Amino acid sequence: MSDKIRILIADDHTIFRSGLNLLLSSEVDLEVVGEAKDGMAAVEMAASLHPDVVLMDVGMPGLNGLDATRQIRARLPEVNILVLTMHRSDEYFFQMLEAGAAGYLLKGAETNELINAVRAVARGDVFLYPSMARRLVQEYLSQSPSQGSAAAHLTEREREILKLIAEGFSNGEIADRLVISPSTVHSHRANLMRKLELGSRHELVQYARQKGLIGGS
């Protein structure tokens, strides 16, 4: 990517926003184009600034991060939302994914995780904090046959690989962890994606959302 990734920070804590701005701006490929102190400001600034990524807090006064995400995604589907929050609850996690967030990161994450997450969602990928990714996969695999019959036909190895894919591991990393060849991982992944009618990591979340496997209702 030749141009810098344009970022809008939405958080109600001024000091936290300032710290994020300094951190992100120190990266040669990142540029903070604005700071919003609440959800309404985030929606308005996203419309005027057209950032590549919005770093969105969940709990903000007035319009919260969930509703702001819904509004931004409805008006500006090309803008990617990365949730950056202190909330670990499944309720917020699944609701933000349903609203259209492309990533979910906890404020206790390491600096390099935040930078990697911004870059990932900017290029259209999904980035989930590892513990949250595990919750998504567990929720998906625990569905009843009527809700997730395809998952019921997965082998134990396919379930294991699905879990690692959702956690962000590459084929080579999965091969190393499971002590199998990359070609075997590729074969398992092909079978997995065929059974679930998926084509990428991003579609794991999209499939779960479309089939009603995640969400607050």
What pLDDT does 133 receive?
Answer: 65
Q: Domain of residue 141: give its range.
A: 134-210
Is the same domain home to 102 and 143?
A: no
Tokens standing for residue 100: 């259209």
CA 15 from chain centre, in angstroms, equals: 25
What pLDDT does 20 receive?
Answer: 94
Look up the CATH number of the domain holding residue 61. Answer: 3.40.50.2300
Is the same domain home to 29 and 111?
A: yes
Would residue 54 count as lying in a domain?
yes
Buried-state track 63-88, b at ≥16 Cβ within 10 A, e below 16: bbbbebbbbbbeebeebbbbbbbebe
Q: Which residue has the tokens 């950056």?
A: 84
Q: Is the separation of the CB atoms in 163 and 134 below 8 Å?
A: yes
Q: Is the pTM of the predicted complex or chain greater than 0.75?
A: no
Which mean pLDDT values do the consecutive 10-residue runs of the chain (217 residues) have? 84 94 94 95 96 94 90 93 84 81 88 92 84 63 49 68 70 85 80 70 58 42
Is the same domain home to 58 and 165?
A: no
Is the same domain home to 88 and 187?
A: no
Is the same domain home to 118 and 176?
A: no
Would residue 216 count as lying in a domain?
no
Give the number of domains in the chain. 2
Look up the CATH number of the domain holding residue 198. Answer: 1.10.10.10
What pLDDT does 124 receive?
Answer: 87
What pLDDT does 127 receive?
Answer: 84
Q: Is the separation of the CB atoms in 171 and 185 below 8 Å?
A: yes
In this structure, the strands spanning 5-10 and 53-56 are parallel
